[in-house]
Structure 1
Amino acid sequence: MSVFSQLTIRGVTLKNRIVVSPMCMYSSEDGFSNEWHLVHLGSRAVGGAGLIFTEATAVEPRGRISPVDLGIYKDEHVEGLKRIVDFCHNFGSKVGVQLAHAGRKAEDYAPWERDERKVKGSKHAIAPSPIPYGKDWHVPKEMNEEDIQSVQKAFEEAAKRAVSAGFDIIEVHAAHGYLIHEFLSPLSNRRSDIYGGSLENRERFLVEIVRKIRKVIPDSMPLFVRLSCVDHVEGGWNLEDSIHLAKRLKDEGCDVIDCSSGGIVEDEKVQAYPSFQVPYAERIKKEVGIMTMSVGLITTYEQAEDIIDNSRADLVAMAREFLRDPYLPMRWAKAHGIKPQVPRQYIRAWL
């Protein structure tokens, strides 16, 4: 089995296992997509990626990582997103939207303004518990029952808009210290109600979101969940917790676990090296019996082939490497004796 082999998930068939991972572009106004997003994502479709994800796309305005991030929190966002999806489809790529809420890591300013701030984060940030992300961050508002139901409804409505925009796949962002991850980790969730305390209770917020989304999207539409499989902090979320959660998510209709890690606290210590997160995807795949996607310092064809050929994961996602080279799949194919799928406009350069 090769990274260039097809993969069918529910009613969607990917032409290869190469995925463009979600990456914030910091180029939006009021959540709207624009020419930058069209060219950025469209170029990766021209380049031959099997699946392309949008950046973390906020389900409500206060859930944006920054005020210049994409949103899908109102109906007017759909038209621009559909334009991008339709363009990518012209080149055989499938397109996924990553639905997200930043929680206590939301910011009221662009990333390049962070160093100017005495207090970081958003004054409007919400979280499961009033614990700031770091020492110089705003203390978030602790979510009450109404807040929880409102955010879950926002995920549900965003999923409906994603269907209207023609997206092939939905991914729920439950990683990197953002809101859903904040409910999962005991480092950020100190609640005493049904959404806190035990592992099952801390999983409840995400499980209910997945359940709501699965009910409003077609049965043929795959549903991914991105997890930080470990917190890289003593006493935090760990791989055993992720395995437990993945089993529950599988029962709720989740199709793929996107295996990342970290992001829950400002001062975490991560030892990153090539393919360092692959063991998380491999273990969840084998122990849960669910498809997985691996991400994290995957930069070479040889790494990708090892992951797919040895069934360590079902999909390989890359971020920075795709920023360096939008045509990565075509280059890999040509270099390894595989006929690349080249748009007719570019054929003369790839003969």
Structure 2
Amino acid sequence: MKIVENAKTLINLYKDYRTMDKADLADFYKSKCTYYQDYVGISLLFGSIFSIAYLYSDYQLNGSYGPTLIPRLSVLVAVLIFILVTEFVDSTGVTIFMDYFLGHYIVIATIWAIYFLKIRLHASEGFIIMNLVFLTVGFVARPSQIIFSSLFFLGEILISHGFNHYENIEIIVSLEIPCALAVIASHLILTLFYLDHYRMQQKLELSMVTDPLTQVYNRHLLEKIVTKNALIGDSKEVAIAMLDIDFFKQVNDEHGHYTGDQTLLYIGQKLTAQTHDTDYVIRFGGEEFIIIFKDCDVNNACARMEQFRQDIEKATDSPVPITVSVGVSKYTGDFEKTIVNVDNALYKAKNTGRNRVVVV
């Protein structure tokens, strides 16, 4: 049955969700907000404008547009504030706050208008309809924010009863609670299903920056890092190394390209295993690899690459016996200049006997 398959999917997604740490969750919810915000923002704007149309039902109850005209039109002020803030403030937290601000202002405008109605018996229908607003806003929010908003909405109803004196407050509350629970449950499920989309997106993004042969990063990631000027970031020091497999053409000629590919894969795996999680191992082209060492001075980087060179020279598990030459340089803030320096260091290592590490 489809329902059984969906239940199993949700259980697996929930288990995946539970494995996410604080940083992963922050990135996940930022992605969710970015993905749905255009839909939510446009829907809220249309919903706010269409809420003015309740003036006609007000007329049917009051026989006049006058008493509720200002409350209904006041939503336009909230719309203007929403547009200005979301246009000039680029923050996920602020965006979600403004979404809920506009959603709850529609509620406040409705409560304000109800105050001027002679017949308030139909307030229950209006409040039920308001759940559509929070169902929409929930697309960008965290479950905790959705729950808080639902409780806040119920609080708005109860507080407004103090001056609006709803004739059927018990019915309004008894109808609102299951509606709120339905909104919360709906978005708990949506959050889990979005996680499936998020994981697929992560895999796609990773495949775009991963070299399919060696399984290390490719030049696309390097270009992205350089473009965003993210090499230093929070790091105190950064060092860059360029590694070249000695006589790699000879490996291909004597042992075949399959062995050559296995040798590249071997180097990629060894580099990944012997670098830190914050470092980057990138296949720069052919048999050349770039290693970016974060929070590492040039002397430490040199020592680490010397140890790696020795390990490769003594390795008994490599496809064929190989050695590597390495150039190392401190990152100065200018990537192109640093690459020239590290390339010169590698050139010197190769032209002074190979199988060595040279620092510039």
- TM value normalised by structure 2: 0.24
Asked which structure has the greater CA Rg, the reply is: 2
- TM value normalised by structure 1: 0.24
Q: Which has the higher helix share?
A: 2
Q: Which has the higher strand share?
A: 1
Higher relative contact order (CA 8 A, sep 6+): 1
